[in-house]
Structure 1
Amino acid sequence: MWAISSRAPDLAVPRAVRRPSRRIGLLIDIAVAVVVVGMLGLMIIEPGLEAGPFHVMFLAVAIAYGYRIWPPVPTVAATTAFTLLAGWLMVMQAAEGHLPKAELAEIPLMPMVLLVMIWHVRRRVAAIEEMQLMAGRQLEAVQREREFVRDTSHAIRTPVTIARGHLELVAAQDLDEEVRSDLSVAMLQLERMTALSNRLLAVARLDSGGALSEQPTNLSSLVRELASNWSAQEDRDWQVDCEPTGWIPADPEWIELALDALIENALNFTPVGGEISLGCRRSADRCVVEVADSGPGIEPEDLPHVFERFWHRPPPNGRTGTGLGLAMARSAALAHGGRLSARNGPNGGALFELELPAN
């Protein structure tokens, strides 16, 4: 079983640290300055009430700092300046008996609390900016990877098409058995290259978005039709159990490609005479298609890696696939807002469940 991750991991990009415009920033600066000067004036004209205005000054700076992150040096300098001035006023009033001396403990305490808050805010801002930088690099890498996959799929097609054309011309000639056998091997490998190119392009299209053309689709009819096509291979025992699912919004072409990939995978891992089961059912808001086989199943240590990029376990039966079938199927499921999961069934074989939204 081969699998290439069908989609880049979802990246949680933090929101940008919003900074106010220059005009708004200037208004905040003026407002803070007005509050600080006003509170200092109040402390001068109202002896004995210095504690209240002193607290209001620091509260105003703390609130403003949530919107306006000043540079460290001006912030510390301004805080030190109005702390010393306000502290001097409080000490003078305490010396004259207008202010309880216990209030003087607020002079070092309030600026310390403010500076600790400022330190934590700056650390958080730095962490967010670093996360944004890392997320940006990851998104760029994902975009480059998608472009590479798309360009590679196109680049493979041309030489493969040319090579097939020449080999078909050779095959039309009178050849001995050994040469014709070698030619068959070459044609088989070119078919694999063509399938690889097609699936690479399919994954790239699904990852880039906008590849779906949703329309009302009768999922149970689609599954029964696919089962009828695949069951022409009579060396396996095919079981089909489809409940009516009604019509759901889906792109039938992509769902068919996804189910073909799942059935092909089951066929590769099911021995001759084994059983392959297809089923579908509908709950309130989901439709589920199951593809099960009677093969060896998936080893417990392999289950977490089934959909990982370039993960590989050769099938015991049939030829090795392109390695993109399960990836494409998972991409199709995710593009529809559904999911594709893998586990071992009750009879030991592999069981893939394709879930699609029913509404």
Structure 2
Amino acid sequence: MKIGLRILLGYFLIVGLSAWFLLNVAVDEVKPGVRASQEDTLVDTAHLLAEMAAPDVKGGALTEIAPRMREYARRSVTARINGIAKQHLDYRVYITDARGIVLFDTTGADVGKDYSRWNDVYLTLRGKYGVRSTRSDPNNENSTVMHVAAPILDPADRSRIIGVLTVAKPNASVQAFIERGQRIIMRWGIALLVLSLLVGIAFAWWLARALRRLMDYVADVEAGRKAALPRLGNNEIATLGQALEAMRSRLEGKEYAERLMHTLAHELKSPIAAIQVSAELLQEPMPDGERQRFLANILEQNTRQKQLIDKLLALVRVEQQQRLEQAAPVELRALCAAVAGDFAGALAARGVRLAMGDAGGDGDGKAGSGPGLDAGADAVPLVVEGDALLLRQALGNLLDNAIGFAPVGSVIRILPERRDGQAVIAVCDSGPGIPAYAQERLFERFYSLPRPDGAKSTGLGLPFVREVAALHGGEVKVANARRGGCCAELVLPLPLAL
């Protein structure tokens, strides 16, 4: 299971359990909270009415309080409380004497009955807080009625209880408020839970995306591909990425330097040995012709060393470069024309002609399928995003190879074209082609094939082209053409707008 999904599930489990617990507690507390508030109101009301009823109970006739209570019971009301309609009054009031016998009942049903056994009356007559909750219908648990009693005190002797006044109210009268509160809590609780889930998804997505980008970077580094540290923001993951990048740079730099020094020392042995032998022979007396031949050999080997070092330094720069610092539009047909101008002297010296057009077919039969630069000045521009100097050097290396292997009097063709949504520059010669044994080693550093004139290159041209192509998100292909010779293709991505 991916880490992002694990984080999301863990987060949602914690939030879900917490929300479930809090919602249950909140919903369960609504009912007792409302009923406690109702009981508090009944206590105040009972004591107020008990004080008002005391003179009548003391006098033995409820001439003042009873008519007013009956009028209260007959009242109608129209009210809307917090969105809930109230259309009748719910208080029931009854008064008992000191023995618990009902003297008055707003319902008129229980006058004369003995209520001394009910907790509200029983406890109040003994100086305690009297309250009870009793079902009006024994078979219906929602028919409970709360009874709160207050002692009726003798006006002349406040320490003597002469009766009990009880105010009763059905719990069902506040049930609508309880349910409304529970619905609101549930609705907001679910909304907060959904919001928390969305926040968790967003956080898990962000974390998984950052880790995935970092893992892609690590995979590219492990595979030896060019990879630039992705933008990870300003957080701990970015700090980890920077630490990995710094560690990678140090390790790769050390390994690269060791490998470079080893290969450079190996490749410089031959020209240094040749120079050493020629210099030692020059110390001996010899004819002028021989002396000039050895001097020419020293100059040739020195030139070879300089070319080797220059090309190796250029290769080192592109190998160590992980991304293009400043990419700009490069028109490939103009680039081909510029490279052709760079090699005009080499082409003339070799006796080879350069044609900007049909490449004559490459290894897969696709080269030459489009118009060349000489097809007309109105050809559609072929533009890529990249480094013009590096592309010019890379294309120059391909053309230099083609010149080295092209027979005298032959034609080298360069074809820039759009193919399968990519830009392709094919450089094709009509030379001997690539032997089967060499096809797997073409991009090895310092590996080269002997040219028809006996010369040998540094073996760094194609590795350089491959690195430049990788920097531009492309690739280089080299294969034998169907009509003979060799075709090298520099494949580059086109901008999306094209």
Distance change (3 Å), C-alpha of 1:146 and 1:348: same
Aligned to 1:337: 473
The SS at the match of 1:302 is: helix
- 1:1-359 matches, within 5 Å, as 143-148=253-258, 176-210=288-322, 212=324, 213-232=326-345, 233-234=347-348, 235-241=351-357, 242-243=372-373, 244-283=380-419, 285-317=421-453, 319-359=455-495
What residue ranges of structure 2 are gaps of 5+ in the alignment?
18-218, 225-247, 280-286, 358-371, 374-379
Distance change (3 Å), C-alpha of 1:180 and 1:245: farther
1:324-353 Cα distance to aligned partner (Å, 9 max, x none): 011111111111111000111122111000
The SS at the match of 1:313 is: coil
Distance change (3 Å), C-alpha of 1:152 and 1:222: farther
Where relative contact order (Cα < 8 A, 6+ residues apart) is larger, the structure is 1
Q: Letter of the aligned partner of 2:474 in structure 1?
A: G
Distance change (3 Å), C-alpha of 1:309 and 1:17: farther
Q: Which has the larger radius of gyration?
A: 2
Displacement of 1:246: 3.4
Displacement of 1:176: 4.3
The SS at the match of 1:294 is: coil
Distance (whole Å) between structure 2 residues aligned to residue 254 and residue 297 of structure 1: 26
Q: Sequence identity, in percent?
A: 28
Displacement of 1:154: 9.7
Distance change (3 Å), C-alpha of 1:231 and 1:316: same
Distance change (3 Å), C-alpha of 1:220 and 1:184: same
Distance (whole Å) between structure 2 residues aligned to residue 220 and residue 318 of structure 1: 33
TM-score (norm 2): 0.39
Distance (whole Å) between structure 2 residues aligned to residue 201 and residue 152 of structure 1: 14
TM-score (norm 1): 0.52
Distance change (3 Å), C-alpha of 1:181 and 1:214: farther
Displacement of 1:177: 4.5
Q: Letter of the aligned partner of 1:288 in structure 2?
A: V
Distance (whole Å) between structure 2 residues aligned to residue 338 and residue 225 of structure 1: 21
Distance (whole Å) between structure 2 residues aligned to residue 136 and residue 286 of structure 1: 25
1:50-89 Cα distance to aligned partner (Å, 9 max, x none): xxxxxxxxxxxxxxxxxxxxxxxxxxxxxxxxxxxxxxxx
| Alignment length (residue pairs) | 227
Counting helix residues as a fraction of each chain, which structure ranks higher? 1
Distance (whole Å) between structure 1 residues aligned to residue 290 and residue 297 of structure 2: 11
Distance change (3 Å), C-alpha of 1:17 and 1:303: farther
The SS at the match of 2:408 is: coil
Distance change (3 Å), C-alpha of 1:152 and 1:218: farther
Distance change (3 Å), C-alpha of 1:136 and 1:358: closer
1:2-36 Cα distance to aligned partner (Å, 9 max, x none): xxxxxxxxxxxxxx999x9xxx9xxx9xx9xxxxx
Aligned to 1:48: none
Displacement of 1:318: 5.0
Q: Letter of the aligned partner of 2:329 in structure 1?
A: P
Distance (whole Å) between structure 1 residues aligned to residue 459 and residue 327 of structure 2: 27
Contact persistence 1:146–1:204 (CA under 8 A):
no
Distance (whole Å) between structure 2 residues aligned to residue 270 and residue 246 of structure 1: 27
Superposition RMSD in Å: 4.3
Distance (whole Å) between structure 2 residues aligned to residue 334 and residue 346 of structure 1: 27
Q: Letter of the aligned partner of 2:301 in structure 1?
A: Q
Distance (whole Å) between structure 2 residues aligned to residue 148 and residue 217 of structure 1: 36
